[in-house]
Structures are given as structure tokens and as C-alpha cells.
Amino acid sequence: MTVLPSAMDIATARILEPADLDPAHLSRALGVLASRGADLADLYLETATVRHWRLQDGRAVAGGFGIEQGVGARAARGGHVAFAHSADLRPPALAALAQTVRSLQFDGIERPVTAVPFGHAAAGHDRYPMIDPVGDVDAARWIALLDRVDALARAADPRIVRVDASVMATDHVMLVADLDGRIAADVRPVVRITIAVVAEANGRRASGRAGLGGRHDVTGLDDAAIARSVARAVRIATTNLDARAAPAGEMPVVLAPGYPGVLFHEAVGHGLESDHHRKRLSVFTDRIGERIAPPGVTVIDDGGLPGRVGSLGIDDEGTPHARTVLIEDGVLTGLMHDRLNAGLMNTRSTGNGRRQSYAHLPMPRMTNTFLAPGREDPADILASVKHGIYAVEFGGGQVDITSGRFNFTTTEAWLIEDGRLTAPVDGATLIGVGTDALNGISMIGHDLALDDGEASCGKQGQSLDVGVGQPTIRIDAMMVGGRNG
């Protein structure tokens, strides 16, 4: 029987051995990090290889290949954190990096430098395969995929006049070792395609975008999945050709299943990350155990969903991710923790310590965050609205974490009149406060869907892949900004 290499085997071959590193070097560096009184210290090593191709208006115009690697070293005592990073992984550079972080630390404590012994490596997982999606170097195969996108979009509707697309594959391998003697690794493949089309008719133009991604290789972008993504982009563009100006004012809003969950990801999810609670910056601070939403509203963060771009075998601190129920039946029950904030709040990490790269500090971040399904028929939810908006797709948005105030612009929305979708509308912006939106939920569908793998999230300058989702829901009153004419 063939024994497949473990994540630690791959990390050793891809990160440690090329730099002439071994675990003993990591042990000594951690001993240096700990020698001035740190109660938390870790080393995060990674290598990331990226290959991408771009199609512009029917022609393959660009391709690229890049490699990023390095190590970040952190030492913390209480809330004080010392951090430095280096793109050089060789033993002398690692030793110098550890000394740099040591020099940035706290005065008054000196301990002997003692190497940190490691226990057993973390167990493996089956959330996604440990493969290299960049290893397929046949550019013709990837360009043919983009050509197929172009052909499908133009064949779908004669009003499509432009098709742009890009595909990117990332082979990411990480290893983390810490002061507690834990050493763990993960291999995180991602393949993602982005599609943008322009439709034109009667002197009017409209655009549509869609994306598709997952933790797999190029075979994960099968013909059926690509066809669905192309059809989605074409639908958005052609629908908006006929859109009328959106109405303005307060009215019921129905959010479609899937990607519209990004609204609650931003307006509510960030407020449930523990650093905001520790610093008393969240609108939900000190409300654990309180009702913050109507019965039936349950919000979950789960980094263990198979194949999702937001999923993790371990987080960037080496902690296996837990399924965290944040809101249960309307009651605030949990927060997302990394190790630093969990320690300062006298609790345990939930496996939500994430970072953009070795050059960034970890912080509490969402993985796959979604509103759980209810029992309502989506058709009944639409039928319940006399005059309102049905929001299907979203573009950009802004959120203030402290207050929960948000605004999100739709890229596909429909007018609801007497329980029926009557006309697409253009320029609808949803404006509100996260707590009000939560409390305004009155109907929850049974049709939970997650996004197609296109979602990403920014926080304090760091961008990460995430998953979002929800079923169809009705919010009784929300301010809609439109052009009203």
C-alpha cells in the first residue's frame, strides 16, 4: 500500500530542507524568543507558489509565476507583542531574527536560553487534499480553460460584447512551531477563476461578475461548475440592461441565499472576533449569553467544511479549527479566538488565528461563516412582501466595526410588488446597523447555500480567503438608498 506524505513531510521537504533547517534550529530560536519572559512565542514558516493567467476581451494577454517564502517570529507577554520577519530562512538568518525579536521585548526579565523540546506533530486531516495545483505547467491547458469561458459567455447571449477572465493557482505550505512544544504543518491548495462580462443593447451597457474557487487543483474547475459561473455573470449583466432606477426609503428586504451572506459576515461577524471584544470596540462587547437576534437566528463559523477556500486543517498558530456557534437561536453564545486574545481573556483558541503571510501577525479572523437554515419556503418569503427589494448579488460595501453601521451596494436586485419579482433595479444600496439587521430578521428559508468560493475579507490591512453563506431571509425594515427616478 502506498503511504502518502504527511503535511509535516511536505513542509520538511519544501521549507526546512532547502534552507538547511531542522527542528533543532527551531527549538533554539524559540528558546531565544522565550528568554526575556515571553508567555507566548512562535515561529511561522511558509512557502507560497502562485501561477496565474489572464484573458482580456477574448485573448490571453498575460501570465505570471511567483514564489514567496519567509518566517515570522513572535514573542508576547500579556498584551505586549514583539514581532519581526525575514525572507531568509537559513539558520544564521533565523538566529538573527530571534535575537531581533528578543531585543524588542520587555525589560526586567532574563532567563537562560534553553531549547524548546517538541512533542508530536499535529494529526492530519481530510478537509482538502495535500496537492500542488501549480505543478501543472502546461500553459495551454489553462489558456484553453479561459477560452472556454469566453466561448460559453458569448454563446449564452448575443448581447455579450466583452469577456475578461483570470485563473490563479496557489500552492501554499506552512509550518508553525511554538513555545509549548507544538509543531504542525498544513498544505493549502487554492484554484480560483474570476469572470467579468459586459453586455450591450440599445446604447446601454451593463456588467456582470462571478467567481469560482476551492481547495483543489484545476480538475476541480469542471465543465459544469464553469458553465454555472459563466451563466451567473451573464445573467447579472443582461438583467441589468433592463434595470430601472432603484427606489429609495425604508422597506422590507429579502436577501437571496449564498453570497449575500457577505452582509452579515461584515456587519456582524467582525464584531464577534475576540480582539474587538478584548479592546471593548465591538457593539457586542459584554453581551455573551444575551439575546441579540430573534429566535431561529443561528450563526456559525466552521473552518472544517470540505474543499472550501475558507477551510483550514490547522489555523496559522497550529490550532485545529473548531466549529464555533456564535449565535444560537438568537442568543450570543461564542466568539472567534486566536491564542493571544484567548489567553488574555482566560479562554481557549477556537482555531481562528489567521494571517495573510509570514510578514503579518495572526489575529482572530473568520473562516466559513454562515447563517443556519430555517424552515420557511423561499417562495413564501417573497410572497409575504407587498413592496420591497430582493437582493441577489452584492458588490462593494463598508462597515464600521465599533457601531456596526454598514452600506452595501447590490449588483443584482429586483423590485418586489405584491409578492412577485416585477423588475430589476439598478443602484440599490442597503444601509443599516448590524444589530438592527439581525433583529429585523422575521423569516428564514430552508435553502442554505454558501458562496462559490469567490469571497475574501480584509481586516487591518490583511486580506484572506473566506466563505460566506445564508438561506433566503426576510428583513422587515431596511433603508434602501436608490436614485428614485
For residue 183, the cross-strand partners are 177
In contact, 469 and 451? CB cutoff 8 Å: yes
**pLDDT score, position 42:** 97
Q: How far apart are CA 269 and CA 466, in angstroms?
A: 12
**pLDDT score, position 485:** 42
In percent, the amount of the chain with pLDDT more than 70 equals: 97
Q: How far apart are CA 421 and CA 106, in angstroms?
A: 63
Task: Check whether 93 has a pLDDT greater than 80.
Answer: yes
Q: Which long-range contacts (CB under 8 A, 24 or more apart) does 275-284 make?
A: 275/338, 275/341, 275/363, 275/364, 276/401, 277/335, 277/345, 278/341, 278/344, 278/345, 281/401, 281/402, 282/401, 282/402, 283/402, 283/403, 283/404, 283/434, 283/435, 284/332, 284/435
In percent, the amount of the chain with pLDDT more than 90 equals: 81
Q: How far apart are CA 66 and CA 49, in angstroms?
A: 6
**pLDDT score, position 120:** 66
Residue listed under C-alpha cell 503535511: 7
Q: How far apart are CA 314 and CA 96, in angstroms?
A: 28
| Concatenated DSSP letters of 379-439 | HHHHHT-SEEEEEEEEEEEEE-TTT-EEEEEEEEEEEEETTEEEEEEES-EEEEEHHHHHH
Instruction: Domain ranges for the chain, please list them.
Output: 7-241, 245-481
pLDDT per residue over 419-428, tens digit each?
999 999 998 9
From the list 323, 123, 306, 322, the residue with the least C-alpha distance to 215 is 306
Task: Check whether 1 has a pLDDT greater than 60.
Answer: no
Task: Check whether 139 has a pLDDT greater than 90.
Answer: no
Neighbours of 277 (CB within 10 A): 22
Task: Check whether 131 has a pLDDT greater than 70.
Answer: yes
**pLDDT score, position 3:** 56
Q: What is the pTM of this model?
A: 0.94
Helix ranges, 86-173 (H) = 91-103, 139-156
**pLDDT score, position 2:** 52
- Region 286-310: mean pLDDT is 96
Q: Residue 212 is placed in which grid cell? A: 469560482
Q: Residue 136 is placed in which grid cell? A: 501543472
Q: How far apart are CA 331 and CA 299, in angstroms?
A: 10
Task: Check whether 391 has a pLDDT greater than 60.
Answer: yes
Task: Check whether 222 has a pLDDT greater than 60.
Answer: yes
**pLDDT score, position 109:** 76
**pLDDT score, position 395:** 87
- Region 45-61: mean pLDDT is 92
Q: Residue 457 is placed in which grid cell? A: 475579507
Beta strands at 429-433 and 456-459: parallel, antiparallel or unpaired:
unpaired
pLDDT per residue over 57-66, tens digit each?
888 888 899 9
**pLDDT score, position 404:** 82
- Region 70-86: mean pLDDT is 95
The domain defined by 7-241 carries CATH number 3.40.50.150: no
For residue 63, the cross-strand partners are 53
